[in-house]
Amino acid sequence: MPKKPAAASRLHRAARIDDAIHDFREKVVRRWGHLPTVIPYAGYGSTERIRVLGRVLLTKPPREGESSRSMQRREERVRGWRSFTSVPVGDIEVTIEIEGTVRTVRADRGGVVDTSVDVELEPGWHTITMRTHDSDAVEAPVFIVDPDTSFGVVCDIDDTVMVTALPRPFLAFWNTFVLDEHARTPTPGMAVFLERLTADHPGSPFIYLSTGAWNVAPTLTRFLGRNLYPRGPLLLTDWGPTHDRFFRSGREHKETNLRRLAKEFPDIRWVLIGDDGQHDEEIYGEFALEHPESVRAIAIRQLSPSEAVLAGGRSKSEQAAAAPGTPKVYAPDGAGLADKLKAL
């Protein structure tokens, strides 16, 4: 069993309770013969440094004649509420191999691997491997951005590329525990709009930034692929208490990752895409004020009156000020956003 970090005694009470529950569940499923498995997520980086993402879960042992790759795919196909019954393995060592370069890192309390590795790679998509000391290696895609790239896209998911039309208090529950990717509805015209952006700027990074949980990353990836959205890494979050609070802040998650992207790619100006039913407009506007050199434009999908009611209202214009000179466009669908950005 992995050792608990020395700082565990300083954890928030909710986090200590959460850890105790995880410990109990881990002991139970290990007795059932479940084994650690790395679930890899798409990463990104520059030609000198990459961000590697993944999660370690305890899963059923391979069936007779089943390969480790098939076992990984079986776990990734878990949908709805079942994705939240998987048991993460916290504080476990994960070995990452990148074209001959080997690094060993440690997963966090929730089994999430989110680390940076210094390595020299050519621009484009690459494949790396990840494994624990008692699991087989699994492959993860990583997109390397060309140093000359000056254009990129950051895009929200809920109510931006995927129509939810549910009251906010029920949205996370419904999308997480009930629906699978076949039942989710793509926003009209958004896939064509986003694909056009990538076609007009080949080799540019495309990042999906959402407050969704890592548990649903495989489902979201299948949804995006099935509906022909551009390929790109997901930046999600881990549910549950942190070391100092009961719940994680979705807003802080988005703000932190936007600032990180600005630091990692200082020469890229991003098109920020979201909707006016959450805090996207406010977050993007504040980021543009803080880093005007990193924002090319802000595109906001306008919710319908019924969607806005379910979302708890629209963002207030006085909270959504952006840096002078930062273009902002509004439209109810992808076609409208495409036309207005093109007019700029």
Rounded-to-integer distance, Cα 30 and Cα 162, Å: 37
Identity of residue 92: I
Q: Model confidence over 74-100: pLDDT tens digits? A: 555 555 434 445 788 888 999 999 999
Rounded-to-integer distance, Cα 265 and Cα 105, Å: 24
Give, in degrees to the nearest 5, the angle at Cα 270 between 262 and 171.
95
Residues 6+ apart with CB under 8 A from 260: none
- pLDDT tens for the chain, 344 residues long, are 444 444 444 555 655 666 666 665 666 666 676 788 899 999 999 999 999 999 998 887 766 665 656 655 555 555 543 444 578 888 899 999 999 999 999 999 889 999 999 999 999 999 999 999 888 899 999 999 999 999 999 999 988 998 875 555 555 555 555 555 556 789 999 999 999 999 999 999 999 999 888 888 888 898 899 999 999 999 998 765 444 444 456 789 999 999 999 999 999 999 999 998 768 999 999 999 999 999 999 999 998 765 555 555 555 544 456 667 899 999 999 999 999 999 88
Rounded-to-integer distance, Cα 73 and Cα 83, Å: 13
**What is the pairing mode between strands 112-118 and 49-59?**
antiparallel
Rounded-to-integer distance, Cα 344 and Cα 322, Å: 17
Q: Model confidence over 17-35: pLDDT tens digits? A: 666 666 656 666 666 767 8
Q: What is the pTM of this model?
A: 0.82
